[in-house]
Structure 1
């Protein structure tokens, strides 16, 4: 059994702990009880995660004398919109959730984002606990207080900053993930090494295959380091006025590709992040910002992990370069009409800029599309 490791996120009155270890779902009652004014919680999950983990959570809460009521939403990115958000808020009101109560988000990034946003607006803000069950949610979306839903115009355009009260990252829950979902989550893990910790990227080159194969110690170490890095950046810039944008390495490309593929199973978010990171390094190298070998090293690691690393790996047709650039323009990181990119001076050294020549960006996309057509 892994020891439980704690990463503290020191945000003053909004400070909280992220706990990483085995068996945290089964022991959730003891972890959550100190935050309750009455022994009752409302849990929102999805049908897939609920079937796997809801009864274990119920038993873990019951061990501490806590009653649980639960709502399971459909699984998938399409849940992260107004209809299921409205359903969730109205269900929480029907359960008579009060401002001093705690709502639990049990699931991946979709559930965490949607439930966190529901908690943010319910009675102008109730507390919530994140129990992320996917690797992507454990290393990224469950930490930092970004909550929200998608709009027809783009991802995450409606939401609020609302920090959780506690995050329980149960490494054992990752055993239930399909290999593709593990690798999608790993896209966000790689991002952390690329944006700010070259030594972590070195470690991933060595330990990544074991992590993917199910090594719990490697998984726990990767989750802890990713959370530490995210927490450090969030504390410096909670509402994304500056440094926090570094966490979006790869995401400007990713969000355009997700929109182009209809937020469908053709491209999972973490897959898009991995491709986006590779393209951001390609763009950086073309602009003379980073060594020419860095994009090759990034692509080689993604390939060694069996991951998507370019547009050629996305099934089906994609729009042309200009259409993809138009989709990038819907990204929430646009400021004063200018696209903001996270580029790199090298592995572990990312920075934010809006000074990207349009012709270079178009060339990166056109060449990637040409490679896709050649591979077809």
Structure 2
């Protein structure tokens, strides 16, 4: 990737509050841009043992003159835990962090979620800046202020809405991303198009091969289009009282698959990809959509290197039990994000569990 493309700036507006999302090259080293977002003299950089050796120095060079320290997680979803939140908070205590301190999240979604949650907890809420280093985090988890940690019972069951001061998406970091992780990020791009942007879905179908070849201009455009879509939804429904729940298309099934695989069988984006296919099959079963839309979705996901079938060895009944813990559920009944075809998602409450179980059973590999 070259750096001939100018930085794209997208504003996330939340009433009178707003923050920038910057997408471009060499942004981690562009301290004149992001350093102005730090209001105090303390900064804690939270990263992981994979990302830190590659990029931590670029960030800490921008903290010259401040009192700062770093806290590193081991890599992987299983480390998004309360025990690591406690360690992050202790790092803030050791730093003497005051209410004008800032947490900087340098990494993927796990780092961003845990860093944001830790910032939300310290002194009842301090600033944090997202510096996503994975495509998945750039297009989804770094924007919108959802933070949280996992429990053995399920993913993201504990968390807080806590918006960042800024999002610094330096696409140079994608050069070190394994291909599987890159594809996992594209699943969240597809999700945004599948639930509410038909022209974007058609654009992805047209440019799937070029995106897989890491065409710089198209990667930036894909990130920007997905972020603009999500920013619009978040600005209208910050705390997921209505429309924002649509962004969970594929996630009720997907989180159950991730949890059943102990966060090692499927990456988050892979779980979402399979989850979207299952949600489409559920919609078909309820007479809401046609097979042709689901087949089109599957073809696009497969072209982007993503799985579309349930991994072997999973138990449909166990998956259903995990789905019962989904945060969208109400009055003891399942609420799923389903669709009426590409671009037309909706929230459906009171879904019959026997119908869900039938979809899961039919999706199990022979």
Which TM class, normalised by the smaller chain length? over 0.9
| Structure 1 unaligned spans of 5+ | none
1:308 equivalent in structure 2: 307
- 1:138–1:169 contact (8 Å) kept in structure 2: yes
Does residue 147 of the first structure (1) align with residue 142 of the second (2)?
no
Rounded to whole Å, the distance in 2 between the matches of 1:235 and 1:182 is 27
Aligned residue pair count: 363
1:328 equivalent in structure 2: 323
Match of residue 4, structure 1, among 4, 7, 15: 7
Rounded to whole Å, the distance in 2 between the matches of 1:24 and 1:68 is 20
Of 233-242 and 297-306, more deviation after overlay is shown by 297-306
Of 346-355 and 282-291, more deviation after overlay is shown by 282-291
The CA deviation at 1:60 is 4.1
Rounded to whole Å, the distance in 1 between the matches of 2:283 and 2:348 is 11
Rounded to whole Å, the distance in 1 between the matches of 2:319 and 2:44 is 41
The CA deviation at 1:354 is 1.2
Rounded to whole Å, the distance in 1 between the matches of 2:209 and 2:62 is 32
Rounded to whole Å, the distance in 2 between the matches of 1:328 and 1:349 is 23
| Structure-2-length-normalised TM-score | 0.96
Does residue 15 of the first structure (1) align with residue 18 of the second (2)?
yes
The CA deviation at 1:39 is 5.0
- 2:15–2:235 contact (8 Å) kept in structure 1: no
Rounded to whole Å, the distance in 2 between the matches of 1:237 and 1:163 is 13
- 2:85–2:114 contact (8 Å) kept in structure 1: yes
Rounded to whole Å, the distance in 2 between the matches of 1:294 and 1:355 is 24
- Written as runs of structure 1 = structure 2, the 5 A alignment for 1:187-266 is 187-264=187-264, 266=265
The CA deviation at 1:68 is 4.1
- 1:129–1:167 contact (8 Å) kept in structure 2: yes
| Structure 2 unaligned spans of 5+ | none
1:43 equivalent in structure 2: 45
Deviation per CA, 1:52-97: give whole Å up to 9, x if none: 11112223444xx556421111111111011111000111111111
2:344 equivalent in structure 1: 349
The CA deviation at 1:286 is 2.2
- 1:175–1:214 contact (8 Å) kept in structure 2: no
Does residue 318 of the first structure (1) align with residue 314 of the second (2)?
yes
- 2:106–2:132 contact (8 Å) kept in structure 1: yes
Of 294-303 and 107-116, more deviation after overlay is shown by 294-303
Give me the CA root mean square deviation.
1.4
Rounded to whole Å, the distance in 1 between the matches of 2:206 and 2:42 is 44
Rounded to whole Å, the distance in 2 between the matches of 1:326 and 1:359 is 12
The CA deviation at 1:358 is 2.9
1:184 equivalent in structure 2: 184
Deviation per CA, 1:135-163: give whole Å up to 9, x if none: 11101101111111011211111111100
- 1:30–1:61 contact (8 Å) kept in structure 2: no
- 2:42–2:95 contact (8 Å) kept in structure 1: no
Does residue 128 of the first structure (1) align with residue 131 of the second (2)?
no
Match of 1:354, SS?
strand
- 2:161–2:239 contact (8 Å) kept in structure 1: yes
Rounded to whole Å, the distance in 1 between the matches of 2:119 and 2:27 is 22
Of 215-224 and 174-183, more deviation after overlay is shown by 215-224
2:32 equivalent in structure 1: 30
The CA deviation at 1:263 is 1.5
Match of 1:48, SS?
coil
Rounded to whole Å, the distance in 1 between the matches of 2:29 and 2:35 is 13
The CA deviation at 1:309 is 0.6
- 1:127–1:164 contact (8 Å) kept in structure 2: yes
- 1:49–1:106 contact (8 Å) kept in structure 2: yes
Rounded to whole Å, the distance in 2 between the matches of 1:149 and 1:211 is 31
Rounded to whole Å, the distance in 1 between the matches of 2:140 and 2:303 is 23
| Structure-1-length-normalised TM-score | 0.93
The CA deviation at 1:355 is 3.7
Rounded to whole Å, the distance in 2 between the matches of 1:306 and 1:9 is 30
Deviation per CA, 1:347-370: give whole Å up to 9, x if none: 01111111433333222111111x
